[in-house]
C-alpha cells in the first residue's frame, strides 16, 4: 500500500468497493507520496515510538509508519475505509485498527482510545507517544488541543492541517490569527510549519490550502503552567469575545466570584492598561494574569 496512493489507484479501489469520499468526514487523500514521506520523516520515528493516527483512510500512511515503530494505533470512523485499510494492513502485526469517532465530545477523547494507547505504551520500557496523521480538517483543532490535556500526552505531533489552522498555531500577540489555540499550544510546545501544500496534492481537492505542522512538547515550558485545566479554560474564556476589553471579559466570566474593583486591581497589578485586550498579551503575561485570577477565587 505504501507509495500506491495515486488517483488511479484510489479510483480503482473505491470503484471495487462502491465507495465515494464524504466531504464532511474530511476524506481528502494525500496523493503526493513525496509529501507523505516528508510527513513521516518530520516525525523522526524510532522503534520505541507508539504512533497515534487519526483518520486511517486507505492505510497508506499507516503502512509507511508501521515498519519504523513499536506500535501504531489508528482510528477510522468510516466502515468502508476501515475494512479497506484492514485488508491492506493485515500483515502488520504491530498495527491496531479502531473503528469509531475518536472524540467523545469536543473536549474529550473516546476512553477506548486512551485505554488502547495506555496498553501499547506500557508494553515496553521507554516507549513514547507521537501523533502522525493526515488529520480531517473538521477535527484537527480538538484533536491537537485535547491531546495536551489527555492521559497520554505525545512528545511530538506531526500532522497535515488546514493552512489557516497552522497560522493560528504559530501566531504572535497582536495579530489576527492569535487566539486561545495559539496560547494553549505555545505555552507548552515549540511549533513550526514544515511545508505548505496546494489543494492539488489531495484527491478530491479541498477548497483550501494545507500545511504540515510539527509540534514538539517542551516539558520545562509545560511545567510553568501550575494548573493546566484551569489555564486552558481561562484562555478559551478570554477569547470568546476577542474584541472586548480584557476587564469586561473578566467581569463577565467571573461576575459571581470577583467584583469589578477586584478585577481592576488585578489588571493594574499586572501592569496592564485599562483598555488592554486579550489578543495583546503574550504567553508569560497571560499565564501571570491567569494565576492572579486563580489566586483570588
**What tens-digit pLDDT sequence spans the chain (297 residues)?**
555 788 988 999 899 888 988 777 778 999 999 999 999 999 999 999 999 999 999 999 999 999 999 999 999 999 999 999 999 999 999 999 999 999 999 899 999 999 999 999 999 999 999 999 999 999 999 999 999 999 999 999 999 999 999 999 999 999 999 999 999 999 999 999 999 999 999 999 999 999 999 999 999 999 999 999 999 999 999 999 888 999 999 999 999 999 999 999 999 999 999 899 999 999 999 999 999 999 999
Cis, bond preceding 65 (omega within 30 deg of 0): no
State residue 2's pLDDT score: 54
In terms of pTM, does the model score above 0.85?
yes
State residue 230's pLDDT score: 97
State residue 22's pLDDT score: 79
What are the domain boundaries of the chain?
7-222, 228-296
* Residue from 81, 105, 85, 104 nearest 96 by CA: 85
Strand partners of residue 105: 108
Q: In the chain, at which residue ranges do the beta strands (DSSP E only) sit?
A: 29-30, 49-54, 71-75, 95-98, 103-105, 108-109, 128-134, 156-162, 189-197, 202-203, 210-217
Q: Burial level of 229, CB count in 10 A (0-12/13-18/19+)?
A: exposed
Superfamily grouping for domain 7-222: Vaccinia Virus protein VP39 (3.40.50.150)
CATH number, domain 228-296, options 2.102.10.10, 1.20.1250.20, 1.10.8.100, 3.30.70.3270: 1.10.8.100
CA 202-102-46 angle, 5° bins: 70
Amino acid at each position: 500500500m505504501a507509495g500506491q496512493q495515486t488517483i488511479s489507484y484510489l479510483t480503482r479501489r473505491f470503484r471495487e468497493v462502491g465507495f465515494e469520499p464524504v466531504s464532511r468526514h474530511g476524506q481528502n487523500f494525500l496523493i503526493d507520496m513525496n509529501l507523505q514521506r516528508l510527513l513521516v520523516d518530520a516525525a523522526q520515528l524510532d522503534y520505541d515510538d507508539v504512533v497515534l493516527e487519526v483518520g486511517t483512510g486507505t492505510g497508506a500512511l499507516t503502512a509507511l509508519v508501521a515498519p519504523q515503530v513499536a506500535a501504531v494505533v489508528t482510528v477510522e470512523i468510516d466502515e468502508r475505509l476501515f475494512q479497506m485499510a484492514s485488508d491492506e494492513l493485515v500483515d502488520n502485526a504491530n498495527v491496531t485498527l479502531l473503528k469509531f469517532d475518536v472524540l467523545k465530545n469536543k473536549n474529550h477523547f473516546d476512553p477506548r482510545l486512551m485505554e488502547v494507547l495506555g496498553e501499547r505504551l506500557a508494553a515496553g520500557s521507554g516507549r513514547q507517544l507521537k501523533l502522525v496523521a493526515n488529520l480531517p480538517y473538521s477535527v484537527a483543532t480538538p484533536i491537537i488541543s485535547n491531546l495536551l490535556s489527555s492521559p497520554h500526552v505525545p512528545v511530538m505531533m506531526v500532522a497535515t492541517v488546514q493552512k489557516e489552522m497552522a497560522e493560528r498555531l504559530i501566531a504572535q500577540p497582536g495579530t489576527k490569527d492569535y487566539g486561545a489555540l495559539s496560547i494553549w499550544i505555545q505555552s507548552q510546545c515549540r511549533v513550526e510549519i514544515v511545508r505548505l501544500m496546494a489543494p492539488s496534492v489531495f484527491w478530491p481537492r479541498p477548497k483550501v490550502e494545507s500545511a504540515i505542522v510539527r509540534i514538539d512538547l517542551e516539558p520545562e515550558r509545560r511545567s510553568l503552567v501550575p494548573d493546566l485545566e484551569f489555564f486552558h479554560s481561562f484562555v478559551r474564556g478570554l477569547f470568546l469575545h476577542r474584541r472586548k476589553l480584557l476587564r469586561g471579559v473578566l467581569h463577565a466570566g467571573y461576575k459571581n466570584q470577583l467584583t469589578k474593583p477586584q478585577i481592576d486591581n488585578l489588571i493594574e497589578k499586572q501592569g496592564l492598561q485599562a483598555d488592554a485586550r486579550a489578543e495583546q498579551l503574550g504567553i508569560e503575561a497571560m499565564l501571570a494574569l491567569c494565576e492572579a485570577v486563580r489566586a483570588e477565587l
